[in-house]
Amino acid sequence: MKKLTIINGPNLNLLGKREPNIYGSLSFTEFLEEIKQKYAHVEIDYFQSNIEGELIDKLHEVGFNHDGIILNAAAYTHTSVGLGDAVKAIETPVIEVHISNTFNREEFRHQSYISPNARGVILGFGLQSYELAIQSFIN
């Protein structure tokens, strides 16, 4: 069984309540239940933190023994050299995802410290961005 981990960064615990016009009205817990059922043949672990160092620790923990990591580093995408270095340091391939199309938003969201070391980037498809990332690991 393939082992994937979804890692969500700051403020993504508020999905469903936070700016629903941008991020939608489904909570991540509800979405996760749906995709776990749909992809029952894949082990999908989940971790969310609002703390940069905890996200780095999680990448180190799963980054040598999982088949794929789906990372939405949220605002830290645009600021964190440490998270970018962690993605570079680990062996498990990382797909960077974003719910919104960060390129049609503020200019500071156009910069990513994750992308240079990611296997690929999927953004702008709402929560479906995560599902597309899962599919890319299992197909």
Among residues 49, 102, 112, 117, the one that binds ligand DQA under rule CB under 6 A:
102
State the Cα–Cα distance between residues 113 and 111, nearest whole angstrom.
Answer: 7
If one asks whether residue 66 binds ligand DQA (CB under 6 A), the answer comes out as no
Stretch that binds ligand DQA, among 28-36, 38-46, 54-62, 97-105 (CB under 6 A): 97-105
Which of 66, 76, 98, 113 is an active site residue?
A: 98
Q: Binding site annotation covers 18?
A: no
> Is 23 assigned a catalytic role?
yes
Q: Binding site annotation covers 72?
A: yes
DSSP bridge pairs for 123: 98
If one asks whether residue 115 binds ligand DQA (CB under 6 A), the answer comes out as no
If one asks whether residue 132 binds ligand DQA (CB under 6 A), the answer comes out as no
Put the strands of the sheet holding 120-123 in their side by side order. Answer: 42-48, 2-8, 68-72, 94-98, 120-123
Phi, psi of 57 (to 5 degrees): -60, -40
- Cβ–Cβ < 8 Å for 28, 91: no
State the Cα–Cα distance between residues 108 and 28, nearest whole angstrom.
Answer: 25
Residues at the binding site for substrate are 72, 78, 85, 99-100, 109
What residues make contact with ligand DQA under the rule CB under 6 A?
11, 72, 74-75, 77, 98-100, 102, 109
